[in-house]
Amino acid sequence: MTTEAGQTAQTVQALSPRRVTWLRRRDAAVRSWKSFARHRIGVAGLVVLVLFALMAVFAPLLANSNGLEVTKATGPVMGAPSSHYWLGTDESGRSVLTLLIWGSRVSLFVGLFATLISVVIGTLIGISSGHFGGRIGGLLFRLTEWFLVIPFLPLALVLASLLGASLVNIAFVIGITSWPGTALLIRSQTLSIEARPYMERARVLGAGNWHQMTRHVLPNVMPMVFANTTLTVAGAILAETTLSFLGLGDPTRVSWGTMLDSAFSNGAMSLGAWWYLIPPGVCVVLVVLSFTVVGQALEEIFNPRLRQR
Amino acid sequence: MTEPLLDIRDLHVTYRTLGGSVPAVRGVSLSIQPGESVGVAGESGCGKSTVASTILRLQPRTAKVEGEVHVLGKDVVRMRWGRLRVLRWAEASMIFQGALHSLNPVQRIGDQIAEPMRLHDATVGKVAAARRVGELLEQVGLSAARARSYPHQLSGGQKQRVMIAMALACNPSLVVADEPTTALDVMVQAQVLDVMTGLVRELGIGLLLISHDLSVLSSTCDRVAVMYAGRVVESANAGRIFDDPQHPYSAALAAAFPRVGDPKSRYSPAGLAGDPPDPQRLPTGCTFHPRCHWAIEDCSRIDPRLEPAGTDRTDRMVACIRAGETVGEAT
Amino acid sequence: MTAAAEVGVEPLPDVPQQRARSSRRSTGLWFLVRKLFGAATSLLFMLVVNFFLFRVIPSDPVRTLARGRATTPKQVAALTKTLGLDQPLPVQFLTYLKNTATGQFGVSFQYRQSVGSLLIDRLWPTLALVGTSTILSILIGLWMGTLAAWYRGQMFDTISTTGTIVLYSMPEWWLGLILFFLFAVGFGPIPGVFPIGGLIDPGVNGSSVHGVLNMAWHLTLPVVTLTIAYLAEYALIMRSALLDEMGEDYLVTARAKGLRDVLVRRRHATRNALLPVVTLVALNLGFIVSGAITIETVFSIPGLGLLTTDALKIPDYPVLQGAFLVFSASVIVANLIAQLLYGWLDPRVRL
């Protein structure tokens, strides 16, 4: 990589400005990756995430989807772990391990989709409220602050109940209720970038709002958005689990949250069915924890002020 | 001869970092007599602030200190913590760059000035302390009512005056001022310096003034020591070191802050090429030789010692192998 | 601090000198007015959200707001008129505002009882639960965060920081399920000593000393759960606020004055670090409300949270609407209190 960077310098005239920018960005990405690789806990989190992602993608190979259907369940009711059912069975005799593997799909999908919605809204509002001063910026900032004080869970519960339970709706509800934090962060980043001399230069040279925002602000805000996204996924997965636990999950799909909901409502606790209670929770904690530590590692890389910690 | 207020003998300070040990101060000796003002000049990173921090043992934990630092005859380096806390502020106080962050942002300045008084003398009551705070504030040219202000309500120069008032709170014998005016603009700098040196002289307090500005030091101090790469390279009478520097580095520092209307400064080379050396990779021989205009071959081999030199030999020490020659005339 | 400017963390708003010099009393009053106004607009916004959520999103508001009652077209028409749904939206909104202000939230489908009185009945178990655990978690969390920051990098810091991040990643109700399973049901050698849900044993008079102790016993496990769940966040916030503060120059000044390390910490660093923490704690209140909802469900405590999750199953929209209002309003009020507290504590904020 370094040799190519060297070549870049020599052949810089032969390349279009766009390519130079691209190469420079790639070099920056390589540097960021290298500093991330030095962050041991972050790397461990990434490994866990990759394992869970593989589990979600290859779920059909790992566990037969027939195992999800109540009618085709063959195991004992709330059976303890055995050589055949490694993690025991649920109230309908389905294998908890099978449910767990398939549940990872829903939890990860909802987490990522909700984050996408949240980050898109948050970034748009954050950049606009930071970039446009005056009334528009002020109004957007106010809006963000208002949304910030609405308690998340009650709003999400009401919305989910009104919209009806489906995966997309759940993701939408989480996305629409969790963007203000991102927006505030992006706004403050935008404000500090706006104050830099090259923005002044761009304005003097006649750059329009769109050009300023997409060419100057967005690329500089991107790293923080990226770090924040990772942390948002952690929150979104937690939110999905909580909404599902409270009975608002998609009834046709198994997620870790719905598993815990049925464990709770079918008396897994009084029956002593720890194999039904512990594994889904541990999976949630592992995935959320991994997203959190990866996000913190990224924050540290992109925000040197935190590096001394 | 009376006992010196401050007597630093062969001080070495080394910072332990992840990248190895970094020598910041490499054998500095310095003394201040009662009522005397001594300046220490040098570029940033030359170790002058580290020297200042050892006087009240405020250096960071990663610093290893060797040598002796006597304040009023007692060695601070080996002092017990309890004794040290008694010495801090009561016998020697410090003026930091208060214009920045050296004042607690959420305490009234009156409380901050009164804090050391009541700490060091339990007999001082609230009322007495408040009265004394008012006196101190008036001494530094602020109104006594300012005691109720918070730091953010004051300008940079006012904050620095508060720092001075605070430093005088316990009637110390020695005041160490570490770049007290660096963050201020020029006019305010002059006012604050006047207030400080005036009070120090009036009260007969010893002053150690640290600055990168040789012209400031030469006009406010009795003696000046110039530091480079953790060592004193020249020390002399304040006026003489500015008008007639013997070490090439002092000459460069003096030229960097010319006196207005001084024709000599017009012809002398302003500024100095290159950067101060990396303390972990010091040059061989004289540490200054890579940047020196007058360096000869021997300079990269011989590490010069601080020795009496020049026409005023009794009063001047220079660490340069060419000090005996009339290098000063090269300008 | 210089690094902060380079990286682009928004600096604290600069204090205009002239304004700071004007009389203290009037700036304090101005600050109070501004904060009150801010809270009022937030409250209004929240009322608008609450209004639109229940009247605009559902395709059939009559059904949504009066489910199970209006079956014949005639009844629907009558109800539309009673609810004022035939009026234009602004009029509807004004009626809604008037009803809210006078405490008329409608009638619960499930309980056939006025939502207002239902909410008041269910308020105090939630207050007891959330109040106790908030206070406990703030005290323990801040203490842990302080210790972790002072002994940064040492064993206590490593353990507490790891522990807090794990707790932070854990749904609080799952922790509740586990604690319930271990200590209320009992598992293996652990006897289940705590009650398995509810607020009080049947037949016990709640206003007697015995009754109060009985309730405290019922609330122990939920309070422990919520305290553990909340303290993680406070410990993390306090630790990082204190670490920020510890790099500051004024602490060197304090040490130079001859203060003992303990005093430097207590009088200067910790006190100043607490200031930003107050605001962050306030921003956390939304999260606390969520905790009440799930934990009351797990431990079947008849508070606002259980009322909400029970209403979700029906769904009992008048109850949901009322509960949402109470939750949001309490967050706004707590937020306002925290901001006023911050302004009172930190002179730099009273612009």
B288 vs C166: CA distance, rounded Å: 54
* pLDDT at residue number C20: 40
Chain C residue numbers touching A285 (CB-CB < 8 A)? 166, 169-170, 174
- Yes or no: say if A246 and A260 are a contact pair by the CB < 8 Å rule: no
The residue-averaged pLDDT of A243-264 equals: 90
Q: Which two tokens stand for residue A12?
A: 């810089």
The domain B1-91+173-331 belongs to what CATH superfamily?
A: P-loop containing nucleotide triphosphate hydrolases (3.40.50.300)
Interchain contact B/A (3 or more Cβ pairs less than 8 Å): no
Amino acid at C346: D
Q: Classify strands C190-191 and B317-318 as parallel, antiparallel or unpaired.
A: unpaired
Amino acid at C91: V
Query: Is C246 in CB contact (< 8 Å) with chain B?
Result: no
Radius of gyration of chain A (CA): 23
Q: Give B282's pLDDT tier (boundaries 50, 70, 90).
A: confident
Alpha-carbon distance A107 to nearest alpha carbon in chain C (angstroms): 14
Query: Is B119 in CB contact (< 8 Å) with chain C?
Result: yes
* pLDDT at residue number C61: 61
Sign for the CA dihedral angle at B250, B255, B258, B261 comes to: positive
Given a cut of 70, whether residue B268 has pLDDT beyond it is no
* pLDDT at residue number C17: 38
B105: closest chain C residue by CA: C348
C253: closest chain B residue by CA: B102
Residues B120, C258: C-beta atoms closer than 8 Å: yes
Query: Is C350 in CB contact (< 8 Å) with chain B?
Result: no
Note the pLDDT tens digit of each residue in B50-71.
999 999 998 888 889 999 999 9
Chain B residue numbers touching C348 (CB-CB < 8 A)? 105-106, 150, 152
Q: Classify strands C186-187 and B307-308 as parallel, antiparallel or unpaired.
A: unpaired
Q: Give A192's pLDDT tier (boundaries 50, 70, 90).
A: confident
Alpha-carbon distance C51 to nearest alpha carbon in chain B (angstroms): 43
- What is the number of other CB atoms lying within 10 angstroms of the CB of residue C79? 16
Residues C256, B89: C-beta atoms closer than 8 Å: yes
- Comparing CB atoms, the residue among C46, C54, C247 nearest residue A150 is C46
C56: closest chain A residue by CA: A162
Domain ranges of chain B: 1-91+173-331, 101-171
- Comparing CB atoms, the residue among A142, A151, A285 nearest residue C289 is A151
List, in order, residues 6 or more apart from C339 with CB less than 8 Å away. C35, C38, C279, C282
Alpha-carbon distance C176 to nearest alpha carbon in chain A (angstroms): 11
C271: closest chain B residue by CA: B106
DSSP chain A: -HHHHHHHHHTGGGS-HHHHHHHHHHHHHHHHHHHHHT-HHHHHHHHHHHHHHHHHHTHHHHS-GGGG-GGG--SPTTPPP-SSSTT-B-TTS-BHHHHHHHHHHHHHHHHHHHHHHHHHHHHHHHHHHHHS-HHHHHHHHHHHHHHHHS-HHHHHHHHHHHH-S-HHHHHHHHHHHHHHHHHHHHHHHHHHHHTSHHHHHHHHTT--HHHIIIIIIHHHHHHHHHHHHHHHHHHHHHHHHHHIIIIIS-TTS--HHHHHHHHHHTTTTTTT-HHHHHHHHHHHHHHHHHHHHHHHHHHHHH-GGGTT-
Chain A residue numbers touching C332 (CB-CB < 8 A)? 149
Of the listed ranges A73-82, A120-129, A134-143, B258-267, the least confidently predicted one is: B258-267
B112 vs B42: CA distance, rounded Å: 31
B204 vs C201: CA distance, rounded Å: 80
Chain A residue numbers touching C242 (CB-CB < 8 A)? none
Alpha-carbon distance C208 to nearest alpha carbon in chain A (angstroms): 31
* pLDDT at residue number B264: 57
Pick the CATH number of C109-350 from 3.30.920.30, 1.10.1760.20, 3.30.479.30, 1.10.3720.10: 1.10.3720.10
Query: Is C81 in CB contact (< 8 Å) with chain B?
Result: no
- What is the number of other CB atoms lying within 10 angstroms of the CB of residue C249? 16
Q: Which of residues 247-266 of C touch B (CB under 8 A)?
A: 248-250, 252-260
Query: Is A162 in CB contact (< 8 Å) with chain C?
Result: yes
pLDDT along chain C (351 residues), means of 10: 34 37 60 88 88 73 58 70 73 84 80 88 90 91 91 89 90 92 82 80 80 89 92 88 85 89 86 81 71 90 92 83 88 84 75 49
Q: What residues pair up with B15 in beta bridges, in sequence order?
A: B22, B63
The residue-averaged pLDDT of A217-239 equals: 86
Any chains having at least 3 CB pairs less than 8 A from chain C are A, B
User: Which of these, C182, C178, C202, C176, lies nearest to C194 by C-alpha position?
Assistant: C182
Of the listed ranges B253-262, B281-290, C259-268, the least confidently predicted one is: B253-262
Q: Any idea which residue has 């720092």 for tokens?
A: B163
Note the pLDDT tens digit of each residue in A26-40.
887 888 888 888 888
Alpha-carbon distance C141 to nearest alpha carbon in chain B (angstroms): 23
Alpha-carbon distance B261 to nearest alpha carbon in chain C (angstroms): 36
Any chains having at least 3 CB pairs less than 8 A from chain A are C
Query: Is A89 in CB contact (< 8 Å) with chain C?
Result: no
A187: closest chain C residue by CA: C10
Q: Give A112's pLDDT tier (boundaries 50, 70, 90).
A: very high
- What is the number of other CB atoms lying within 10 angstroms of the CB of residue C6? 11
* pLDDT at residue number B266: 54
* pLDDT at residue number A267: 84
C297: closest chain A residue by CA: A246
Query: Is C1 in CB contact (< 8 Å) with chain B?
Result: yes
Query: Is A246 in CB contact (< 8 Å) with chain C?
Result: yes
Which structural domains are found in chain A, ordered by start? 31-58+86-308 (1.10.3720.10)
Residues C252, B100: C-beta atoms closer than 8 Å: no
Q: Classify strands B223-228 and B37-41 as parallel, antiparallel or unpaired.
A: parallel
Alpha-carbon distance C233 to nearest alpha carbon in chain B (angstroms): 25
* pLDDT at residue number B130: 92
C21: closest chain B residue by CA: B153
Query: Is A41 in CB contact (< 8 Å) with chain C?
Result: no
The residue-averaged pLDDT of B142-158 equals: 89
Alpha-carbon distance A280 to nearest alpha carbon in chain C (angstroms): 10
Q: Which of A142, A143, A269, A277 to mutate to test the interface with C (most CBs of C within 10 A)?
A: A269
Sign for the CA dihedral angle at B163, B164, B170, B175 comes to: positive
* pLDDT at residue number A309: 38
Q: Give A67's pLDDT tier (boundaries 50, 70, 90).
A: confident
Chain A residue numbers touching C240 (CB-CB < 8 A)? 309
Amino acid at B52: A
Residues C308, A288: C-beta atoms closer than 8 Å: no
User: Which of these, C83, C54, C96, C59, lies nearest to C324 by C-alpha position?
Assistant: C54
| HSE value, Cβ hemisphere, 13 Å, CA-based, for B169 | 34
Query: Is C207 in CB contact (< 8 Å) with chain B?
Result: no
Residues B104, C253: C-beta atoms closer than 8 Å: yes
Alpha-carbon distance C207 to nearest alpha carbon in chain A (angstroms): 31
Query: What's the full length of chain C, in residues?
Result: 351
DSSP A13-80: GGS-HHHHHHHHHHHHHHHHHHHHHT-HHHHHHHHHHHHHHHHHHTHHHHS-GGGG-GGG--SPTTPP
Which residue has better confidence, B262 or C324? C324
A101 vs A58: CA distance, rounded Å: 9
pTM value is 0.77
- Yes or no: say if C141 and C231 are a contact pair by the CB < 8 Å rule: yes
A180: closest chain C residue by CA: C283
Alpha-carbon distance A175 to nearest alpha carbon in chain C (angstroms): 16
* pLDDT at residue number C225: 94
C164: closest chain A residue by CA: A289
Residues A247, C240: C-beta atoms closer than 8 Å: no
- Comparing CB atoms, the residue among B88, B101, B105 nearest residue C257 is B88
* pLDDT at residue number B166: 92
Look at residue B150 and give its three-state secondary structure: coil
How many angstroms from the chain centroid is the CA of residue B271?
A: 22
Query: Is B99 in CB contact (< 8 Å) with chain C?
Result: no
The residue-averaged pLDDT of A178-188 equals: 88
Alpha-carbon distance B207 to nearest alpha carbon in chain C (angstroms): 16
Query: Is A278 in CB contact (< 8 Å) with chain C?
Result: yes
Q: Which of residues 46-75 of A touch C (CB under 8 A)?
A: none
